[in-house]
C-alpha cells in the first residue's frame, strides 16, 4: 500500500471535469484507489464517490492505492493534482 497527501489546486475545486479526469486515470490501473478527506474514505474510481467529497480549492486529501501497479498509479494521479488536472483554473 502506498499513500500520499495532495492539495486541490484548482480555483474551482474538484468539480465534475477534474473529478472525471481523476476517475478515468485511476480506472486505467488495476490497483484499488481510495481518497481520505475530512474523515471520509471514498472509492477514487467512482465519480459519485469523488463528487461526494465536494473538495474545494486548497482542500487536502490523502490518496491511498493498493495493488500490483500502485506506485505507477500514485505517481500519475498525484501529477494530476500538481498540474491542476491540465485545466485552466
Which of 80, 25, 72, 75 shows the shortest CA–CA distance to 47? 25
Which residue among the candidates 4, 15, 36, 84 is catalytic per the annotation? 15
Q: Is 15 a catalytic residue?
A: yes
Residues annotated as catalytic (active site), given as ranges: 15
Amino acid at each position: 500500500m502506498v499513500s500520499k497527501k495532495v492539495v486541490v489546486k484548482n480555483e474551482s475545486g474538484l468539480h465534475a471535469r477534474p473529478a472525471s479526469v481523476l476517475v478515468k486515470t485511476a480506472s486505467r490501473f488495476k490497483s484499488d484507489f481510495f481518497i481520505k478527506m475530512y474523515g471520509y474514505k471514498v472509492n477514487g474510481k467512482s465519480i459519485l464517490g469523488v463528487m461526494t467529497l465536494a473538495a474545494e480549492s486548497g482542500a487536502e486529501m490523502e490518496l491511498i492505492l493498493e495493488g500490483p501497479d500502485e506506485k505507477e498509479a500514485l505517481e500519475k494521479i498525484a501529477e494530476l493534482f500538481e498540474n491542476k488536472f491540465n485545466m485552466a483554473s
